């Protein structure tokens, strides 16, 4: 059995904090923070906000575990979630980004940057944990 390394715990704390922030942005104050274009479909952002809220709770629960084998599957889920959301956000941004206003481009660029940093940290943590 392998003990969870300190770097992995730091990554989980950063994930939980940022996911709680994005949960608040997506569920409670979506129109003020992440909807400068005025899109009228509030259900998809609220649904994704719920998914990342549950992920943040799982990240906090994972901090209580002692062994890497106990959290490996959920950590892989986090990496998969980050890969899929990063792929879809970058694809949408590349395809219809020309139609966005300046504020929407800034919001999407910030989201993509944060997701890329979280993914890089998660992959580095996975590699360090296996070594």
Q: Is the pLDDT assigned to residue 37 strictly greater than 70?
A: no
Mean pLDDT of 59-65: 94
The pLDDT score that the predictor gives to residue 26 is 83
Per the CB < 8 A criterion, the answer to whether 76 and 8 are in contact is no
Q: Between 119 and 39, where is the model more confident?
A: 119
Report the 3 state secondary structure along 22-85. Answer: HHHHHHHCHHHHCCCCCCCCCHHHHHHHHHHHHHHHHHHHHHCCCEHHHHHHHHHHHHHHHHHH
**pLDDT (tens digit, 9 = 90+) per residue, 75-124?**
999 999 999 999 998 998 899 888 877 877 888 899 899 999 999 999 99
Structure confidence by residue, pLDDT tens digits, 41-54: 667 788 888 999 99
Task: Give the global pTM.
Answer: 0.87
């Amino acid at each position: 059995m392998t003990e969870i390394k300190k770097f992995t715990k730091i990554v989980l704390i950063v994930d939980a904090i940022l996911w709680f922030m994005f949960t608040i942005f997506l569920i409670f104050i979506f129109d003020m923070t992440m909807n400068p274009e005025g899109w009228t479909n509030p259900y998809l952002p609220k649904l994704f906000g719920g998914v990342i809220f549950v992920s943040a709770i799982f990240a906090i629960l994972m901090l209580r575990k002692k062994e890497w084998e106990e959290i490996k599957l959920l950590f892989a889920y986090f990496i998969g979630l980050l890969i899929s959301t990063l792929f879809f956000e970058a694809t949408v941004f590349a395809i219809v980004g020309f139609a966005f206003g300046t504020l929407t481009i800034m919001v999407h660029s910030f989201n993509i940057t944060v997701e890329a940093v979280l993914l890089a940290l998660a992959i580095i943590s996975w590699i360090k944990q296996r070594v």
